Structure 1
């Protein structure tokens, strides 16, 4: 493997039909490959609007198998353009059994591996627990031709345990496909606090584990499927995708609304040097962490 890795993330709206959204994603994959990227990351569930705002059995019809129609297309593009792709798909595993699944496709067009979202939120506007079964593949990096990718999904990004376990299993970088936004009833001050917390926690994962982070979010306002026209009911996805180095330093970022192909270069040698200077893995007191497996210490 080369000492540097050129990576990209696609910040895009996902509020159109499946084919239009997929066409947009593919166009950005092509752009990333043409500029020499080794890896491109797409937002969480980029094939359509965020259907989890409400509970509706009809939405289960959006799910597809893996491999399936979308992965077949993405595998073809990956092989043609010699680029690694991270896509997130509503996976139909069996009747009545569905997952929110990240698929990693290698440069040869093969499916290198999958990650099924482990932490499933159940909040107003984010009724994912209705649709998704918690993942059962563990926190295991996916081996590719460019290294081990520690892929996690959205709500997973708030849990330091998930990032740490990926790092301990040898991940070369952490990747967070995301669909997160603001409740329009929140004040501007609260929205800013939420955004700041989101950026901070992910940069902290880079710092605490000494590895780069790619965070890829969607953008745009999406009405709730049951909302009346012009009601304002929905989610404004806040974008702000970024790529950070192993000390949490921002290599490139986007704002809250722009359609953008983010690109950055990761220096593997520097990542190793950072870990040598800040040896968190060496100094961990693993003999004292047993209580982490408890829900709460009374």
Structure 2
């Protein structure tokens, strides 16, 4: 068995990054755990809802900036891997990337993912402030876990998770800022369970809480069973996962091996062309 201890940070980002950083520091100061992996939610810098693209651009940083520097220091000081998020300046101002990064125990950045599927539904237009990334994440190995990445809305795209599972991901980490609304908490849970079950992969959701967002950070096992759910409120929750359970699940339910990829891929290719 290969156990990995997770810490999911659930909080509500403020409307400026210095305030958000203060909330993060307060939560971490009250947390004495020594996890292998610490995960933060989407939009951790600040809640962009209702802000102009110019405002978001002004608050965004490069990967070499102080925001990422804080999380690199956190990783090296605590000896934990970290998945953090940011608004990253792009080559098409004033729109920015919605970016998640993986940092190893030494504080080195080993993975960068820029959200590819943008939340342009239900009256919200993420593309008015965000420019989409150009490629899906390639899983990286850190803290005894092969980590994939997707961001929030992308839970609605099974293909994003299938590709990463086929590339060897044992867990897909999903930083989220899941907007409140009728049945939205149930939707988040059902989607996370489905993505876990159909890929026999852990799904790790760190979600914002408060204001516009639902909370309900969770970890789902490779059978689609929720093993921890944060519910509401600002908090840090822990879970311990066993990476070998991924391979046991895939042995019991060899969904990828049994798939008729010839039919699936031919049909998808044909339909997309139409």
Distance 1:110 1:30 in 2: 22
Aligned mate of 1:263, from 224, 233, 238: 238
**Runs of 4+ deviating beyond 6 Å:** none
Say if 1:30 and 1:81, in contact at 8 Å, map to a contact too: no
Contact 2:34 2:78 in 1 (8 A): no
Q: TM-score, normalised by structure 2?
A: 0.92
The CA RMSD measured in Å over matched residues stands at 2.0
Asked if 1:90 is matched to 2:102, the reply is no
Give 2:128's match in structure 1, choosing from 105, 127, 130. 130
Output the CA distance in 2 between the equivalents of 1:295 and 1:27.
Answer: 50
* Partners of 2:145 and 2:243 within 8 A in 1: no
Distance 1:67 1:197, change over 3 A: same
Inter-partner Cα distance in structure 2 for 1:140 and 1:294: 26
Q: TM-score by structure 1 length?
A: 0.85
Q: Distance in 2 between matches of 1:72 and 1:15?
A: 19
CA distance in 2, matches of 1:277, 1:31: 41
Quote the Cα distance in structure 2 between the aligned partners of 1:267 and 1:74. Answer: 25
Shift, 1:201, TM fit: 1.1
What SS class does the counterpart of residue 90 from structure 2 fall into?
strand
Match of 1:226 in 2: none
Aligned-partner SS, 1:126: coil
- Measure how far apart 1:204 and its partner are: 0.8
Tell me the residue number matched to 2:139: 141
- Correspondence list, 1:1-298, <5 A: 3-29=2-28, 34-49=32-47, 51-94=48-91, 96=93, 98-123=96-121, 126-183=124-181, 191-192=182-183, 194-221=184-211, 236-255=212-231, 257-290=232-265, 291-293=267-269, 296=272
Structure 2: runs of 5 or more not aligned: none
Distance 1:161 1:213, change over 3 A: same
